[in-house]
Structure 1
Amino acid sequence: MKSTRIVLASRPTGMPQPENFRTETVELEAPGPGHALLQTLYLSLDPYMRGRMSDAPSYAPPVEVDQTMCGATVSRVLESTDPAFAPGDIVLGYAGWQTHSVEHTSYLRTLDPAAAPLTTALGVLGMPGFTAYSGLLTIGRPQPGETVVVAAATGPVGATVGQIAKIKGARAIGIAGGPQKTALLRDHFGFDAALDHRAPDFAEQLAAATPDGIDVYFENVGGHVFDAVLSRLNKFARIPVCGLVAGYNATDLPPGPDRLGLLMGHILRKSLTLRGFIQTEFLDQFGEFYPAVSGWVANGDIAYLEDVVDGLDHTVEAFQGLLTGKNLGKLIIKVAD
């Protein structure tokens, strides 16, 4: 069996460019004991992949140059040496940017196509949804009547955060880029207010939308969005730090005065809880996450949105768009039918 794959050809500086990747076709070995041969159907694209292209110290090892780019996948089993997986089964795995793979079956989870659309295993019912659930409820702890603000709110993490906040009785304020996305926040996801961070008066709009301050800020972006949020935080506010996508392509520290003292002053005076996290810290909660969120999706309490791009050959372009906010919803590459 041959696989077409996209490998990391060189480490990007700033925005990843096509020359940082290489497409090649390789022969796969037959699956050994405890392994399965898989055909990729869907590939997830997520902001964390930018960090894996760098060899800077991080919470996960970098993708090595000349190795297949990482990524969660929904795949079809073609062959298996493990009796728990049969040809034709659909599984969630981690094959990365390629059409076929051989994976150890301990890393696979069987999916039921009748229970939910397969793509939801990469979004609202997968890692992004679990990130939202565990980060918001464990660190954010929204209470009825509180105000929850989330950045990158039309993405799979942010949209789920805002809707879970509303389920818990809080008021949800979403921040996104452009009128199309702010309309989605109001009309599709049911946020109480939606703000465009590109608006020249964004800080004033945020102040007007949060007259009682902010109790929970779910951070996905950083940059000028956090600058505007900081002064609106209430005493004892909680800030789960999930991502800082505004700086993922930065090659140097931002210009301007040192604002560390300002941040630390707010943390001290307001008794803020600012906690970074990786969803794998909370894997013991997955057993409660899946029935809860799948139930909310089924009864309409949680809506989701997917941006599906057809063809592995469009992966690099789609990933560049993800880093600049061009996608609408969870970005997925359809690799095969």
Structure 2
Amino acid sequence: MTMNRQIILAERPDGMPDATHLPLREAAMPKPQDGQVLVRTIYLSLDPYMRGRMSAAKSYAASVEVGAVMEGQTVGQVVASRHPEFAEDDFVLAPGGWQAYAAVAGKTLRKLDPAVAPISTAVGVLGMPGFTAYAGLEEIGKPQAGETVVVSAAAGAVGQVVGQIARIKGCRVVGVAGADDKCRHVVETYGFDACVNYKDDDFAEQLAAACPDGVDVYWENVGGKVFTTVLDLFNDFARIPVCGRIAHYNDSGAPDGPDRLPGLMGRILVKRLLFKGFIQFDYRHRQPDFVQDMGAWVRDGKVRYQEDIVDGLEHAVDAFQGLLSGRNRGKLLVRVGDDPTRN
């Protein structure tokens, strides 16, 4: 191999990103320098936060520069190493980005053992999405046995884990998703007590019926219609971890309609609601607990997961559009190269 395939950020999108903003190109094969490792990408993780990285707006992390390879976590295999701790054929978690090969600093890598868990889980249930669910629910949601927890985007990479942890804690768990098959999946596979399709005309009535004792914890992944509906069901002292607002990531202007902020602030005051936005790295100190707890829950079958794998880097942009519009089922991955650990 002498050439590398990459998807770059050619221009900043206004609205839904497409291949104009994220074209596929060929570039010279990278060569590792001292302290670096050349990694062949097996899986590219696609996550909602990437939409924010495409924008120039100030956020909790720097934007991707125009002309640069789009960033993202990858699972890959070492092709060549100039770092003493990594050898050819090692499997690693790497900040490789949207490309087939990446030369990355050894200090940014983590070795993966396929005998312990499927390597794809390093960017899923045992990686950033799983830790996001664990840390946000434990530190902000603080679910107590007998409480009702509502999870938006319940069939997604984070939501599926949030609901299962809440069930382990003894809560009633109600999911919200955008398709009937997603709702069936979270109930039948993950043990949610109920799941409601927000696209149904009687969504508000269905959600109220599924939460007869009100809502004590609401995991916010979405915003929009889902948030305004669950807002009417909050109990006093409800906790709302704000993980994402995917319904608004492609907004290019202020929403239509009346200003609802005064009413929201009134509810926050009267019901003594706790809203807290967070980024998973705010809780790095909980990483050892996560590794221990989640590893045991997955091994014991208490936490299950679904992966949605799309083949081919050339399909990454379409898959990302699907992620932003709710088309994926579970954790979304692009299989960029062969996975020798799978039969």
TM-score range, shorter chain: over 0.9
State the secondary structure of the residue aligned to 1:289.
helix
Give SS of 2:8's match.
strand
Equivalence for 1:123: 124
Q: How many Å apart are 1:29 and its aligned residue?
A: 4.3
Structure 1's unaligned 5+ residue stretches are none
**Deviation digits for residues 111-163 of structure 1 (CA, Å, limit 9, x no counterpart):** 00010111111110000000000000000000000000010000010000000
Partner residue, 1:192? 193
Q: For the residues of structure 1 that align with 2:75 and 2:188, how far apart are their CA atoms?
A: 30
Q: Match for 1:230: what amino acid?
A: L
Match of 2:164 in 1: 163
Residues in 2 aligned to 1:332 and 1:109: alpha-carbon distance in whole angstroms: 19
Whole-angstrom distance in 2 between the partners of 1:217 and 1:230: 9
Partner of 1:209: 210
Q: CA deviation at 1:203?
A: 0.8
Whether the 8 Å contact between 2:198 and 2:226 is mirrored in structure 1 is yes
Partners of 1:3 and 1:295 lie apart in 2 by: 39
**Runs of 5+ consecutive residues of structure 2 not aligned to the other structure:** 339-343
Q: Aligned-residue CA RMSD in angstroms?
A: 0.8
Superposed, 1:16-27 pairs within 5 Å as 16-27=17-28
Q: Is contact 2:144–2:170 with CA below 8 Å preserved after alignment?
A: yes
Matched, 1:172 2:181: no
CA distance in 1, matches of 2:304, 2:209: 26
Matched, 1:270 2:271: yes
Q: TM-score, normalised by structure 2?
A: 0.97
Stretch deviating more after TM superposition (237-246 or 54-63): 54-63
Q: Deviations over 1:255-274 (max 9, x none)?
A: 11100011101110011110
CA distance in 1, matches of 2:188, 2:213: 24
Comparing 19-28 and 264-273, the one that deviates more: 19-28
Q: CA deviation at 1:2?
A: 2.9
How many residue pairs are counted as aligned between the two chains?
A: 337
Deviations 1:181-234 (A, max 9, x none): 111111111100110000111111111111111000010000010001111011
Query: 1:45 and 2:46 equivalent?
Result: yes
Cα distance between partner residues in 1 of 2:259 and 2:202: 24
Aligned equivalent of 1:136: 137
Query: Partner residue of 1:242?
Result: 243
Please give the alpha-carbon distance, in whole angstroms, between the structure 2 residues aligned to 1:17 and 1:193.
Answer: 35
Cα pair 2:30 2:102 within 8 Å, conserved: no
How far residue 28 of structure 1 moved from its aligned partner, in angstroms, is: 3.8
TM-superposed deviation, 1:22: 1.8
Task: Provide the residue aligned with 1:95 in structure 2.
Answer: 96
Give me the whole-angstrom Cα distance separating, in 2, the residues matched to 1:30 and 1:45. 25
Counterpart Cα distance in 1 of 2:22 and 2:180: 33
| Cross-structure match for 1:104 | 105
Give the Å deviation of 1:44.
0.2
SS at match of 1:304: coil
Identity of aligned residues (%): 54
Kept in 2: contact 1:151–1:225 (CA 8 A): yes
**SS at 1:180 equivalent:** helix
The separation in 1 between residues aligned to 2:319 and 2:31, in whole angstroms, is: 31
Q: Which residue of 1 aligns with 2:313?
A: 312
The answer as to whether partners of 2:310 and 2:319 remain within 8 angstroms in 1 is: yes
CA contact (8 A) 1:28 1:102 kept: no
